[in-house]
Amino acid sequence: MPTYTVDDVTLHYAEYGSADGLPVMLLHAFPLSGGMWQPQAEALVASLGCHVIVPDLRGSGASSVPLGPYPMERMAADVLALADHLGLASFVLGGLSMGGYVSFAVLRAAPDRLRALILADTRPGADTADGQRAREGLAQLAEREGAAPIAETMLPNLLSATGLASGAIPDRVRALILANSGAGIAGAARGMALRPDASDLLPTIACPTLIIVGEQDLVTPPHFAQTMFESIPNATLQVISDAGHLSNMEQPDAFADIVEHFLRALPTAS
């Protein structure tokens, strides 16, 4: 896996397809890593010849675990540094859940870099005080006991009942979570607790935007997607049935088809 460095922090990313394809950067959910995007990355290369870039955000996957917290603005700066590293003047940015929170921070920092935006199973609002306290509890649990109790606590909310019963999907989600360190999970949890409300950004989004949500998403239920759809000028909304929060992992083909259809309609995509 290739790497780049930001202020002495080594960050990993995966690249799929050839560098002359439409650049599409996909940001992962918490507390997973870029591996969650593999089916969609492969599908977009096969169908559209895209150049798909999948970072492991700081503290996750094979990336370094610097001292936290990791504010969304910090991770957005990492994303923009990766785009610079790859020489991408502009790119399609997609993020699921925490990946969406980071996408909002990229949008605030550098809206002109985005050719299109994909917001999946995410929400624009900040955490409530109760939500921040829960994040701190989760961060402390991760620091004390590592990723295992985090996986067991979070899994029931990440997938639909059908997905949870399937065996293979929860196993895949669990494996991605267990590969992360407690310190990295804590850094991201505390970073999410610090994020500002991004609702003010929604009416300013100038690029084509695709909003996707799993019909049974318990973490960021479909009403958040509906609100974003109503507030973003050039938006499309797609609801994926038989999917919970990690809609791309539960329905990989449906998710990839939706993204493919969206990218095909972009003026610059062939």
Whole-angstrom distance, CA of residue 75 vs CA of residue 60: 11
Phi and psi of 87, rounded to 5°? 70, 30
Closest by CA position to 158, among listed 179, 180, 145, 177: 177
26 touches ligand MLT by CB under 6 A:
no
Draw the binding track, 192-211, toward ligand MLT (x: CB under 6 A; -: no contact).
x-------------------
Beta carbon of residue 37, minimum distance to ligand MLT (angstroms, whole number): 13
Is the Cβ of residue 85 or residue 174 nearer to ligand MLT in the bound state? Answer: 174
> Which position among 88, 186, 219, 225 is part of the footprint of ligand MLT (CB under 6 A)?
219
- CA of residue 198 relative to chain centroid, distance: 16
Q: Which of 27, 29, 77, 213 binds ligand MLT (CB under 6 A)?
A: 29
Count of residues of this chain found to bind ligand MLT when the rule CB under 6 A is applied: 7
- Show the tokens assigned to 2: 């290739």
How do strand 23-27 and strand 51-55 relate by DSSP bridges?
parallel
Q: Could you tell me if 137 and 233 are in contact, meaning their C-beta atoms sit under 8 angstroms apart?
A: no
Q: Which one among 60, 63, 97, 238 touches ligand MLT, defined by CB under 6 A?
A: 97
Nearest CB to ligand MLT, comparing residues 24 and 177: 177
Strands 3-6 vs 51-55: parallel, antiparallel or unpaired: unpaired
How far is Cα 188 from Cα 177, in angstroms, rounded to an integer? 13
Site string for ligand MLT, 222-251 (x = CB under 6 A): -----------------------x------
151 vs 219, beta carbon nearer ligand MLT: 219
The minimum distance between CB 100 and ligand MLT, in angstroms, equals 8
Out of 52, 98, 150, 151, point to the residue binding ligand MLT (CB under 6 A).
Answer: 98
| Placement of tokens 């960021």 in the chain | 220
Minimum Å gap between C-beta 48 and ligand MLT is 26
Quote the CA–CA distance of 75 and 37 in Å, as a whole number: 18
One-letter amino acid at 270 equals S
The residues that touch ligand MLT, with contacts defined as CB under 6 A, are 29-30, 97-98, 192, 219, 245
